[in-house]
Amino acid sequence: MQLESDQFATQVLLEHGFDAREAPTLMAKVGDIVRRSGAAVDMVFGYSADLPGRSAKVKDLLGGPYQPVVARILSGDGFRMSSPRYSLLMAELKRDNGLLALDRELFVIARANLEEAASVRTDDPLTMYGLGVLYRTIGRTDEDVARASRAW
């Protein structure tokens, strides 16, 4: 069922002109976060051990049956791009998810979300504060302590 839903989602994205080529990378990133976070996070995401296979299947679809669609889109106007406002909204979402994960001591997820938010919004005080608290909490070296000071 997951493979079918991945295929359907890829098809819908392409039909609406969105770039589905990043889906395998996203699946790998989620799998990595889940693998490093432990059993509690694995329960939230369900069965994550199949993510590498699902990622490979989406790559096969994009390089096989959907390749002509991708080529047609690229030869025309290209994929629909998000607006600058979208990037800001995503940074806020990642910040909020990171702060929630930090509150629940899901440090790997908190770090991934807060660092991604900071890469877009270096001027957001909540993001920087969250990173400072995170680095101070999980830091074990002098470099980690210095990083926490810079974020605060």
| DSSP state letters, the chain | -HHHHHHHHHHHHHHTT---TTHHHHHHHHHHHHHHH-HHHHHHH---TTHHHHHHHHHHHHHTTTHHHHHHHHHTT-SPPPPHHHHHHHHHHHHHHHHHHHHTT-HHHHHHHHHHHHHH-TT-HHHHHHHHHHHHHH--SHHHHHHHHHH-
Examine the pLDDT at 70 and tell me if it is beyond 70.
yes
Q: Is the same domain home to 70 and 88?
A: no
- Both 64 and 111 in one domain: the answer is no
Q: Are residues 96 and 50 in the same domain?
A: no
Q: How far apart are CA 105 and CA 129, in angstroms?
A: 16
Task: Please say which residue of 17, 43, 75 terminates a domain.
Answer: 75
The yes-or-no verdict on residue 39 having pLDDT over 80 is no
Q: Is the pLDDT of residue 42 over 70?
A: no
- 116-131 pLDDT, tens digit each: 999 998 899 999 999 9
Find out whether 79 and 18 touch, Cβ atoms under 8 Å.
yes
Whether residue 6 sits in one domain with residue 71: yes
- Do residue 57 and residue 104 come from a single domain? no
What pTM value is reported for the model? 0.54
Percent of the chain exceeding pLDDT 90 equals: 36
Q: Are 73 and 14 in contact (CB under 8 A)?
A: yes
Residue 31: predicted pLDDT:
78
| Chain position carrying tokens 């030869």 | 75
30 near 13, Cβ under 8 Å? no
The structural domain count of the chain equals 2
Which pLDDT score, from 0 to 100, does residue 126 have?
93
Whether 67 has a pLDDT exceeding 90, the answer reads: yes
Close Cβ partners of 133 (under 8 Å, ≥ 6 residues apart): 102, 148
pLDDT tens profile 43-54: 666 667 788 888
Regarding whether 46 and 29 lie in a shared domain, the answer is yes
Range of the domain at 92: 84-151
